[in-house]
Every structure is written in C-alpha cells, then in structure tokens.
Structure 1
Amino acid sequence: MKVNVVDYSLDWEKSFDQEAKKIRKSARHQENLVSILHIGSTSVPALKAKPIIDMMLIVEDIAVLDQERDVFETLGYEYMGEYGLPGRRYMRKGGDERTHQIHAYQYDNSNEILRHVVFRDYLIQHEKTAREYEKLKTQLASLYPDDIEDYNKGKNDFVKKIEKRALMEYWKKKEENRRKRKRRGTIFKMLLGLLMFFMFFGFPFLPTRHSYYGWVEVAEKILWKIHINSWPM
C-alpha cells in the first residue's frame, strides 16, 4: 500500500459525515449503534495526513455488530474481525487505494475508546505537538513510500508517548473540574446561608419595607445570577 501524506482538506470532514450517514441508514440494528466518531489525523484541522478517514464505531453489543458483517461488506468494507486487538472490530474500504477504516468497540471498552478520543483532542488543543507529529509522518512517508507497516512502526513510539501525555492531562482536568465544582458548591451554600439569614433578620443597609416574599424574590434572583455566572461554559 502506498503511503501518501497530504495537506489537510475540508473534504475529510464531509467524507466522514457522508459515510456515517450511510452506516446509520444501512444498519439493521439501529438501536445497537451508540455513536460514530471521527478520529485519527484527518479529524485534526490543518494537520497533514494520509487521506484515509478513520472512524470509531461505538456499539451496545459487539456480537450484534458481527451479525451485520454483510451490511458493511455491501458498503464496500472488508470485515477483518479483531485484527490483532482483542475486543475491536476492524474494517477497511478501498483496497490498496484505501479511503476509510472503521475501529468498532463495545461501549464499555472504555480504555480503547478513550485513548483514541484523547489523542485526537490533544492534537487539536496542542498545535506544537501536532506540528511535530506532522513532521514525523512526512519524513516517514518519504522513507517508506511503499511500506505502510514500516511507516506505522516508525511513528508508534511517538503515538504512545502522546497517548500517555493526553490521558494524564485528561484525568488531571477531570480532577481539577471536580475540585472547582466542589468549591462552587461550598461558596453557593455559604451565600445561600447568608441570604436566608438576612431574609429573616433583615439587611441593615436596605429599607425595612421589603416583605418576606420580597426577600425571597431578591434571594432567588441573586442566587440564580451567581449560579449562571459561575457555571463552566
């Protein structure tokens, strides 16, 4: 198989959308499809890549997907089974002129699903790393223009390094967000307590003509504004 790394194309996203629609429309067990994601280098804007659309298919039951092998073959895919990765179903389309490849996982195979997603997102969020990856792929394509296996081996260490970095960043952000939510909750409860106190005992700096229900209305408006302004966008 030829190895050809080319400039990013807006057509890649369109190609993914079109193929995803075909799969959803053709599937006999629609309820088994959980999600279809665009992954790999063609999913990263402005990144040079081989013009092959990588898709991740997440299903409820991988055994049910196996029953639809003929559906994917009708769409032009070779159904390759696990193809070296337990729990995965790999499919490719286009032969030596490959255009698409599918990596299918059951919804609870979270390790494999997550590593693909965080790798994609890390490259999108870290341009310097994306450019390093692009440079490596371009060099490897020049060294191995007719050998996809050596090309993939050549970038394997870099991919594993970035996957590790991306996963660590993902979990750190999860913990940071948890702490932020906890702090917001504590502040929210403190403010609610203060407002309840002033509702019953009065604000020394506001007119006394406010009724109990007036205080309730004031408290609700203030708390809602705090809630909206502090919530992550």
Structure 2
Amino acid sequence: VGVGTTLNCFLLYCIFRRTKQVLGAYKYMQMLFITIDISYALFQVVLVERFIAQDSIVIVIGLGKYSNNLIVITSFLALYSLTFIIIDFNFLYRLWAIKAPERVKLFSQKRFLLLVLLTVIGEYCFWFHIAYTYFSATDHGRLKIRNVTFEKFGVDTLTQDMIMGDYFHEDGTRNWHPAVAVITFCNVLAFCFGFLIYASANIINCLRNSKLISNAGLSLQRQLFVTLSAQV
C-alpha cells in the first residue's frame, strides 16, 4: 500500500506539472483516477477491513481506530466499486484512439470530462446507497457470527458497526434485501465487464486490420493496449 500510494502521488505530481498544451484537459480525468486509487489505499490503511463469511451471513468490518462507523465502511466499499467504471473509461479511450481518433478529442473537452465526473459520482452514490440500505446488520446475524469475530479479531458484533448480508431471517424465511442488492451489483459488474470484453475485441480487431494507422503507430497502440490489459 505504501509503495503504491507513493508512486501514485509522484504520478499525480508529474501530471499536474505538465502544461496544458502537452496533456490538455484530459489530465484532469487522469488526476481523478489516480486520486481515487490513492483514496482507496488510504481507506484500507485507516479501515483495516475484514470480510467474514459464516453459514448464510457475510459481513465487512473494520479493525482500525476509526472504522467502527457504518458510513466509513460503506464509503470504502463504494469507493472500491469505482475501479470497474474507471477501467471502462480507460478502455473506451484506448478504443477511440485506434478506431475513431477524432473522438479522442472529447477527453480534452471540459464538458465531456464533467460528464465523466458526474458518471463517477453517480455510480459512487448508487453503490453507497445500495450498500447502506440493503446490507444493514440484523440482531439475528450479529448473534450468529459473534463468536467467530470475537475469536479471530476480538470484535464484539453486538456493538460493532458493519455491513452485513444476512440472507435468512431468524424464522428461516428469506431476507430479500441483500439478495436484491447482490443481483443489482452483479448486473452493474456484468455491464462493466461486458463493455470491457466488447472494447477489447474491437481493439484487437482494429490492431489486426487497421489500414489508417502506420506500422509504428500500430506498434505503439499494441504496447499501450498490452499495458492497460496487464493493469486490469
């Protein structure tokens, strides 16, 4: 975490110091992406999150000093979800750079970057709302998983704030709230990964059959695509 955060901070500094003529307004989107990575890493240090599963119950708790707070835990989980939409925007940029270079200019326009920013904020708020509303801890679940958390981490679930997926009520009937949340998350992830696959297939096809880009340009685009894929 420390090495990654240091490198991201250095990269953020380098991007910020570039002139507008070199990177254009696109640099602000890159700064946003790096800032999210740094924030996620810092959240991990503060929260010290743990995922625990027991029977039909899944919980997320924090072991850090300031982690006994539901808003903090939910904010962390929502921030994690931004990784997927960031990946999609990166693949969209790479796809346009090869297939429709004229569209890449959109990433240098402040209105388009504002749209990207609003999309990121909207997706974050959506995940936060779903996690906060549909993964609330139940008294039945707290009691059922108490021994596990206390034995492993010394945490008493009766007093600890947490995110909990308790899929069955105490009387054995199904609790649909976490199930609906999981289905919603899976649909969002399916869309993100579906676009990633679509973009990757188109990029590979363009790299093989493009007649508009020079050999040197194709070689550079291949290297950038391989680098992006390796990051994923």
Pairwise TM-score range, normalised by the shorter structure: under 0.3
Larger Rg: 1
TM-score, normalised with respect to structure 1: 0.28
- Structure with greater helix share of residues: 2
Which of 1 and 2 has higher RCO (CA within 8 Å, sep 6+)?
A: 2
- Structure with greater strand share of residues: 1
TM-score, normalised with respect to structure 2: 0.28
